[in-house]
Amino acid sequence: MIDLKQSSRLSEKQLTSFQLKLMNELEPSVLEKVNGWLNGNYDDLTKGLIRQALNERAYTELTDSFYRDLEFGTGGLRGIMGPGSNRINKYTIGSATQGLSNYLKNKYPGEKIKVAVAHDSRNNSDLFARITAEVFAANGIHVYFFKELRPTPLLSFALRQLGCRSGVMLTASHNPKEYNGYKAYGADGGQFTSPDDKLVMDEVSKITNIDQVNFKAIPENIEMIGEEMDELYLDKIAGLSVSPEAIARQSDLKIVYSPIHGTGITLVPKALEKFGFKNVTLVEEQVKPDGNFPTVVYPNPEEKEALSLSLAKAREIDADLVLATDPDADRVGIAIKNNEGEFILLNGNQTGSLLINYMLTAWEQKGKLTGNEYIVSTIVTTNLIDDIAKAKNVKCFNTLTGFKWIGAIMTELEGKQTFIAGGEESYGYLVGDLVRDKDAVVASAFIAEMTAFYKDQGSSLYEAMLEMYRQYGFYKEKLVSITKTGKSGAEEIKAMMERFRNAPPKTLGGSPVVSLKDYERRIETDPVSGTSKELDYPKSDVLQFITEDGSIISARPSGTEPKIKFYCSVKGSLDGKDGFPEADKLLDDKVKAIMDDLAV
C-alpha cells in the first residue's frame, strides 16, 4: 500500500478514507507503479509532484501517468512531460538511453562506439539532451554533443559524417508545448528499422528499475560540436542546387521565413543565403527559440493559425514566397500567391508534388536523367507523385508512413541508384542523400529555388501547380485528425480501427469499395469476389479503402500523437486553368461525401 502518511497533509481518519477511495478509483497496477516511484530512487521534486496529485485526487491524471510504461516505439519516445512511467522525464529518458546503450554494446562488441546527441527549443530539451549524453558517456560511449540547439536533419547528417553508430534528437517535433520526445537513429543516419528497431525496443523493455540506469557520466567521453558541422552541411546542400542561373537572375526574390520559435533559425536563413537569395525577411515575433511557443496555439506549419504572422508580413511586403518550419526543422509549410494576388496555403501533398515535379523537370532539362534515378513517397501521400515519376521515366517507391521507411530504401539503394527527392503528405521532404530523414532546411532552399525557377520563366508556383494538374491529373486530398487522449482515448482509437476492420464500408462517396488493404494483417481483399493476396509491406496498423472511381481512403492511428487520422484522396481532371474553380468544387464535394459516409 502507498505510504501516504509521510507525505500527505491529510489526517489519520482522512487517510483511511482516502486509501479506500484510491483503491476504488485507481487500478491495482497503477497503485503499484505509484508506490514504486514514491519509494524508489527518484528525486524529491518528482515525488512531491506525485504526492500533490494524490492529495488533489487527480485520479485521471495519475492513471494516464502510470497505467503503462511510455512505449519506446520504432522511432523512440514521445509524450507529455511530467512525473510517471508514461511521461517524458529524466527517468524515462535515462531508461531509454540505457537500453539503447546496451543494444549498441551488444551489436558492436569491442568497438569504441560513437554517438551524437542534439536537441530542439522545447522546454527541458537541453536538460534531457544532457542526461542522454551523460548516460551514454557513463556506459563508455563517445558522445558528440551539440553545444546549442540544432535541427533534426543536422543530427542525421552528423551521424553519417562522424561515423557514429547511433544518435538521439530530443524533440517532439510539431506537438503542443506540453510534449517532448526522443528520436533514436541508427548508423545510416535514419531511424531504426527491422530487425534493429525490435532489438533496441527489447533492450529498453529490460530496464525495469531506475537503479539499472548508469547516470554517472565520464566527462572525457563527451565532445562538444557546433559551427564546424553547420558549415560542412550548408556547403554540401548548396552543392545540390540544380538551377543556380535562375537564382542568380532572381536573387531578389522576396521570401518571408518563420522558424515558429524553433531550431530553423540556426540554419534556414543561412541555407537560403548560400543558395544566393538576398531578400529574406524574418518574422521577428517568432525568431527567438522558445519552448512555450507564445505566438501560436500549436507550433505546426500544417496549421493555418501558425502561419498567421508570416502571412501578415508577406502581405505587408508583397512577398513571393512564405516558408515556416516546425520546432526541430524537419517539416516546412509554405504559402504562395494565386492569380488574384491572394496568399494561399499549400498542403503537404501539393508542396511535395510541386517539389518533385520541379526536381525531375530541372534534372531532365540539364540532361541528368539516365534511367537510374528514383524518388520515394508513402502509401498515404498523393498518387500524383507516382504519375509524375512515371511520365518522367523515373522509378517511384511507395513506403509505409514515416520517413524512416524512405531512409531505409535510400540506404538499401546507396551506390546502386540515384536518389533525387522524397516526401510525405505531412509536410516532410528531402532532396539529395545527405541525410536519412525529412529535412526542412534543404527543402526550404529548394522550394525557394523552385519559386525562382518558375518566376525566371515568367510564371509562378501557382501557375506551375495548375499546369501540373492539367498535365498529370487533378488530385485533391484531405486529412481529418480525431484526438483521443489518455488511456480511454487509446482504447477508443483501437475500437474504431477494429470496427472498420470487421465491418468495412461497402461504398464511399457513391462509389463501390473494390479493394481493402489491411497493412496490419498484410492482406489485400477484393470485397466482391472475396479473394485476397499478401501485401509486401511490414506490419503496420493502417487500413486503406480503394473505390471503383479511384478514390483512396486511409485510416491510421498516429504513432506520435493521441490521434486517429483519416486520409482521403480523390482525382478529377483539369482541362484548362479557367476551369479550376469548378473542378476544385467537384472534388471538394466528393471528399465531403466520402467523409460523411465514414462519419468522421
Give this prediction's pTM.
0.94
Please, what is the Cα angle at 398 between 392 and 401, to 5 degrees? 140
Question: Per-residue confidence at 19, pLDDT binned at 50, 70, 90?
Answer: low
Mean pLDDT of 184-189: 97
| β-strands 523-525, 532-534 pairing | antiparallel
Q: Residue 287 is placed in which grid cell?
A: 525568431
Is the pLDDT assigned to residue 441 strictly greater than 80? yes
* CA dist., res. 320 & res. 226, Å (int): 32
Say how far residue 466 (Cα) sits from the centre of its chain: 28
SS3 label, residue 566: strand
Express as a percent the part of the chain with pLDDT over 90.
Answer: 91
Spatial contact of 118 and 155, defined as CB atoms under 8 Å apart = yes
Question: Per-residue confidence at 18, pLDDT binned at 50, 70, 90?
Answer: low
- pLDDT at res. 15: 43
The yes-or-no answer on residue 173 being catalytic is yes
Express as a percent the part of the chain with pLDDT over 70.
Answer: 96
* CA dist., res. 429 & res. 359, Å (int): 12
The answer to whether the Cα torsion of 227, 228, 231, 232 is positive or negative is negative
Choose, from 173, 377, 444, 540, the residue flagged as catalytic.
Answer: 173
SS3 label, residue 263: helix
- pLDDT at res. 528: 87
**Burial zone of 416 (CB within 10 Å; 0-12 exposed, 13-18 middle, 19+ buried):** exposed
Spatial contact of 519 and 541, defined as CB atoms under 8 Å apart = yes
SS3 label, residue 450: helix
Q: In terms of Cα–Cα distance, which of 284, 264, 591, 202 is closest to 443?
A: 264
- pLDDT at res. 5: 36
Q: In terms of Cα–Cα distance, which of 258, 225, 241, 235 is closest to 150?
A: 225
* CA dist., res. 359 & res. 364, Å (int): 8
Question: Per-residue confidence at 22, pLDDT binned at 50, 70, 90?
Answer: low
Spatial contact of 407 and 378, defined as CB atoms under 8 Å apart = no
- pLDDT at res. 414: 97
Spatial contact of 89 and 46, defined as CB atoms under 8 Å apart = yes
- pLDDT at res. 31: 92
543-558: pLDDT as tens digits? 999 999 999 999 999 8
Q: Residue 359 is placed in which grid cell?
A: 526536381
Q: What is the Cα gyration radius of the chain? A: 25
Is the pLDDT assigned to residue 10 strictly greater than 60? no
What is the per-residue DSSP string for 356-403? Answer: HHHHHHHHHHTT---S-EEEEEETTS-THHHHHHHHTT-EEEEE-SSH
Spatial contact of 335 and 310, defined as CB atoms under 8 Å apart = yes
Please, what is the Cα angle at 238 between 452 and 346, to 5 degrees? 45
Spatial contact of 444 and 401, defined as CB atoms under 8 Å apart = no
Q: In terms of Cα–Cα distance, which of 176, 116, 123, 158 is closest to 485?
A: 176
Question: Per-residue confidence at 474, pLDDT binned at 50, 70, 90?
Answer: very high
Complete domains list, the chain, with CATH: 12-66 (no CATH), 76-225 (3.40.120.10), 249-472 (3.40.120.10), 474-598 (3.30.310)
* CA dist., res. 591 & res. 345, Å (int): 19
Report cis status (omega within 30 of 0) of the bond before 195.
Answer: yes
Q: Where are the beta strands (DSSP E) in 192-331?
A: 222-225, 255-258, 280-282, 321-325
Mean pLDDT of 374-381: 97
298-322: pLDDT as tens digits? 999 999 999 999 999 999 999 999 9
* CA dist., res. 35 & res. 38, Å (int): 5
